[in-house]
Amino acid sequence: GDSVTQMEGPVTLSEEAFLTINCTYTATGYPSLFWYVQYPGEGLQLLLKATKADDKGSNKGFEATYRKETTSFHLEKGSVQVSDSAVYFCALTLTSGTYKYIFGTGTRLKVLA
Amino acid sequence: KAGVTQTPRYLIKTRGQQVTLSCSPISGHRSVSWYQQTPGQGLQFLFEYFSETQRNKGNFPGRFSGRQFSNSRSEMNVSTLELGDSALYLCASSLEGQGNTEAFFGQGTRLTVV
């Protein structure tokens, strides 16, 4: 079945460090890929998305490239801030007329000043 | 433009009771989905509604049900509550259309079953 695998957390970094959170997927068909972020006590906010192979999603310094050959959508940021501390979820949805998302388990990021 | 609104934000119920959660989507959005978030299972899809019809359903027992009204507002109901139903329940709405695959999430309803 369709699934998303994320690297285990927590990830602890110092401010201004480089961030990579790995995400790979298994899907039948051609999924759209997403990164969502969840701050404490809040719902999920869309961080970025890519809807086809080789697309690069970017927002607030975060980037991820849809790699069909490696079925990956790794999240990167060149210089993290304390305010980036949150839980990050990789997700997919199949563009088949539904909005059923399949989420990874989430990766908690903690950035230290 | 108002976001997705879920009510109530917090709820405490006793085992065996039933509960109804409400979700008001973003104006103009006709698709509403529900998810359960727990520390052990993560985010799991419950069901999706579009134009008052259930379009997709996850692997949850029949105690979990939902509906959507003509104004796109949605409710989910859980009957005969169990301790394991304690979770954050998230609702998401989406604008139907070509290429519109983004879901907007509400802040969730935190259900505690005691």
| DSSP symbols for A37-83 | EE-TT--EEEEEEE-STT-EEEETTEEEE-BTTTTB--EEESS--GG
B108, A43: Cβ pair inside 8 Å? yes
Contact A65, A56 (CB under 8 A): yes
For residue A49, list its beta bridge partners.
A34
Contacts 24+ apart (CB under 8 A), B1-5: B1/B26, B1/B27, B2/B26, B2/B27, B3/B104, B3/B106, B4/A43, B4/B91, B4/B92, B4/B93, B4/B104, B4/B105, B4/B106, B5/B106
B97: confidence class by pLDDT, cuts 50, 70, 90: low
> Residue A11 above 70 pLDDT?
yes
What is the Cβ-side half-sphere exposure of residue B3, based on CA atoms within 13 angstroms?
15
Amino acid B19: pLDDT? 98
In this structure, what is the dihedral angle of CA atoms B96, B25, A64, B36, given to the nearest 10 degrees? Answer: -110
B70: confidence class by pLDDT, cuts 50, 70, 90: very high
Q: Does A101 touch chain B (CB under 8 A)?
A: yes
B6, B90, B94 member nearest A44 (Cβ): B90
Question: A105 in helix, strand or coil?
Answer: coil
> Residue B1 above 90 pLDDT?
no
CA–CA separation, B99 and A97 (whole Å): 10
pLDDT digits (tens, 9 = 90+) for B43-53: 999 999 999 99
Gyration radius of chain B over CA positions: 13
CA–CA separation, B42 and B13 (whole Å): 22
Q: Does A59 touch chain B (CB under 8 A)?
A: no
From A38, A74, A45, A69, select the one nearest A57 (Cα to Cα).
A74
Amino acid B65: pLDDT? 97
B99: confidence class by pLDDT, cuts 50, 70, 90: low
Please list every residue in chain B whose beta carbon sits closer than 8 Å to the beta carbon of residue A32.
101
| A94–chain B nearest CA distance, Å | 9
A-B CB pairs within 8 A amount to 58
Q: Does B98 touch chain A (CB under 8 A)?
A: no
CA–CA separation, A70 and A31 (whole Å): 14
> Residue B69 above 80 pLDDT?
yes
Amino acid B96: pLDDT? 73
Q: Which residue has the tokens 């139903």?
A: B85
> What counts of helices (H) and strands (E) characterise chain B?
0, 11
Mean per-residue pLDDT for B26-42?
Answer: 92
Amino acid B85: pLDDT? 97
pLDDT digits (tens, 9 = 90+) for A44-54: 999 999 988 99
A46, B104: Cβ pair inside 8 Å? yes
Structure tokens at B107: 């802040």
> Residue B98 above 60 pLDDT?
no
B35, A89: Cβ pair inside 8 Å? no
CA–CA separation, A17 and B90 (whole Å): 32
For residue B64, list its beta bridge partners.
B78
